[in-house]
Amino acid sequence: MLQPVDDAILKDLESSLHRDIPLTRSMGLQVIECNGHGLLIRAPLAPNINHAATAFGGSLAAATTLVSWGMLWLVLKQVDRDARIVIQESNISYLRPVTTDFIARCQYPSEAQVTKMLTTFERHGKGRIELQSDIYENNKPCVGFRGRFVILPN
Amino acid sequence: MLQPVDDAILKDLESSLHRDIPLTRSMGLQVIECNGHGLLIRAPLAPNINHAATAFGGSLAAATTLVSWGMLWLVLKQVDRDARIVIQESNISYLRPVTTDFIARCQYPSEAQVTKMLTTFERHGKGRIELQSDIYENNKPCVGFRGRFVILPN
């Protein structure tokens, strides 16, 4: 998963999200980059604000869930597999309030993780992977997300 | 926490959510009831749909987070305490897809939990509580949520 990701593929991911998941439009989510740090999506604070004028926990949960889903979508594109992506479980730590527009980042899974997921998918029709995402502000972690996803035949 | 909850208080909760957290309007969330089963909020499928025509995981996370937050808000109203509610951590299990409009329910915390939270809040300026929420469809659990919240002086 260290091949560079084409801007057209990122645009395709963003269009799919906006078309198929209307809440991503309400949240103002944008797919911005996939670089050495992982996949990055941005959300403005205004539509995601809460009563304390910081980002609403539900928006932070949705953004970290989505960026992880998006990372797995990219991985499947790169290995040219067609599969349905389903989230099974997530654990989210809210470490500090998010006070401005924010970027959710999903780290690349390791090659070993991807290989294992694809192998069990081929053999048993179901592959499992754990992904990690986060939201930082001023170099400090605000949200930590761990999610277990499965891929299933389409 | 077994006192009946006045409809006016539930309306007040809904208005606060819609006013202070704009995403709750985009999601079409309604506070519908607080009964022997706990606090119930409803969300229509349409604005919360995903690419598989089921409810988007981020919406399910946001709804279960909110109904738990709302439950704690109600508890604080009932014991007449003014405090800020912050989520610290959540664990969400996605057991089955949600295929229609859905209801997120937060169970009442026990009196022992509430007493413990309030005691440490009075003594140390910070009280902690764990809340459980869920989403059922056709009597089957689809989403299970456990969240740790803290209350802090306003």
Model pLDDT for residues B13-59, shown as the tens digit of each residue: 999 999 999 999 999 999 999 988 899 999 999 999 999 999 999 99
Structure tokens, A3: 């091949």
Say if CB A65 and CB A135 are below 8 A apart.
Answer: no
Give the pLDDT of residue A1: 53
Confidence of residue A2 (pLDDT cuts 50, 70, 90): low
- Which H or E run includes B153? strand B140-153
Q: Where are the domains of chain B?
A: 7-153
- Give the SS3 label for residue B142: strand
Confidence of residue B3 (pLDDT cuts 50, 70, 90): low
Identity at B59, one-letter amino acid code: S
Residue in chain A lying closest to B95 (CA): A88
Q: What is the ipTM of this complex?
A: 0.94
CATH architecture type of domain A7-153:
Roll (3.10)
Question: In the block, which residue shows the tokens 């069990």?
Answer: A120
Cβ contact (<8 Å) for B88 and A93?
Answer: yes
Find chain B residues with C-beta within 8 A of A94's C-beta.
86-90
Confidence of residue B6 (pLDDT cuts 50, 70, 90): confident
Stated pTM of the model: 0.95
Q: Within a 10 A sphere around the Cβ of B46, how many other Cβ atoms?
A: 9
Say if CB B110 and CB B52 are below 8 A apart.
Answer: no
Percent of chain A residues topping a pLDDT of 90: 93
Q: What is d(CA B31, CA B24) in angstroms, rounded to the nearest whole number?
A: 11
Find chain B residues with C-beta within 8 A of A50's C-beta.
20-21
Q: What is d(CA A87, CA A52) in angstroms, rounded to the nearest whole number?
A: 29
Find chain A residues with C-beta within 8 A of B49's C-beta.
20-22
Cβ contact (<8 Å) for B23 and A47?
Answer: yes
Find chain B residues with C-beta within 8 A of A23's C-beta.
23, 26-27, 47-48, 56, 58-59
- Which H or E run includes B144? strand B140-153
B89 closest CB neighbour out of A22, A26, A92: A92
Provide the 8-state DSSP code for A108.
P
Say if CB A74 and CB A9 are below 8 A apart.
Answer: yes
Q: What is d(CA A55, CA B73) in angstroms, rounded to the nearest whole number?
A: 18
- C-alpha of A52 from chain center: 25
B51 closest CB neighbour out of A21, A52, A65: A21
B21 closest CB neighbour out of A56, A69, A86: A56
Give residue-wise pLDDT tens across range B97-136. Answer: 999 999 999 999 999 999 999 999 999 999 999 999 999 9
**Where does residue B57 fall: left (phi above 0), alpha (psi -120 to 50 degrees), or beta otherwise?**
alpha
Whole-angstrom CA distances from B80 to A20, A25, B13 are 43, 38, 15
- Which among A66, A68, A92, A142 is the top mutation candidate for probing chain B, defined by the most B β-carbons within 10 Å of its own β-carbon? A92
- Which H or E run includes A128? strand A127-137
Find chain A residues with C-beta within 8 A of B16's C-beta.
51
Confidence of residue B141 (pLDDT cuts 50, 70, 90): very high
Question: In the block, which residue shows the tokens 């989510």?
Answer: A29
